[in-house]
Amino acid sequence: MDNRSVKPISRGELARVTGCNLETIRYYETVGIMPNPPRTAKGYRSYDDSLVRRLKFVMRSRDLGFSLEEIRGLLGLVDDRTQTCAQVQTVAEAHLDDVQAKIADLMRIERVLSETVARCTGDGAPKCAVIDALLEA
């Protein structure tokens, strides 16, 4: 299987094949995540295979919760042929720490919330354990 004849595609097609929102592609262009693509004679954006792969990379990074800033960093390491595994590891580990901290936060919230909800009688009374918990100093 050769890739020789892969034709450039339009923005709409790029959106379709990557699952990215049409407008978001333009947004990524303005914030420098995606480069200004070549244009057709009439000014239509034209994406070749390397740009398709780049956006797929972005989408997968986004799925893993990397911020645009972090994605920019990862893309820089991909683009820069002198990148090292250690540099990538640093970014990924920092993000992993973030994710773990968020999980811990949410689990604390979950515990408080479920304990409080459990004290609800759930009836038609105007007295509620949740409200009391939120009101008490």
Total residues belonging to the chain? 137
Q: Report in angstroms how near the CB of residue 112 gets to its own copies at its nearest.
A: 6
Tell me: does residue 76 bind DNA (CB under 7 A): no
Per-position x/- string for 56-75, each x denoting binding to its own copies as judged by CB under 8 A, each - no binding: xx--xx-xxx--------x-
Residue placing its CB nearer to its own copies in the complex, 39 or 94: 94
Identify what 74 binds: its own copies, DNA, none; CB under 5 to 8 Å per kind. its own copies
Q: Report in angstroms how near the CB of residue 29 gets to its own copies at its nearest.
A: 20
3-state secondary structure of 9: strand
Side-chain half-sphere of 105: how many Cα atoms within 13 Å? 6
Angle in degrees, CA 45, 48, 53, rounded to 5: 115
Q: What is the largest CA-CA distance in the chain?
A: 72
Please give the helix or strand (H or E) that residue 116 lies within, else none.
Answer: helix 85-118
Tell me: does residue 20 bind its own copies (CB under 8 A): no
3-state secondary structure of 33: coil
Tell me: does residue 134 bind its own copies (CB under 8 A): yes
Q: Given candidates 3, 5, 50, 69, which one binds DNA under the rule CB under 7 A?
A: 69
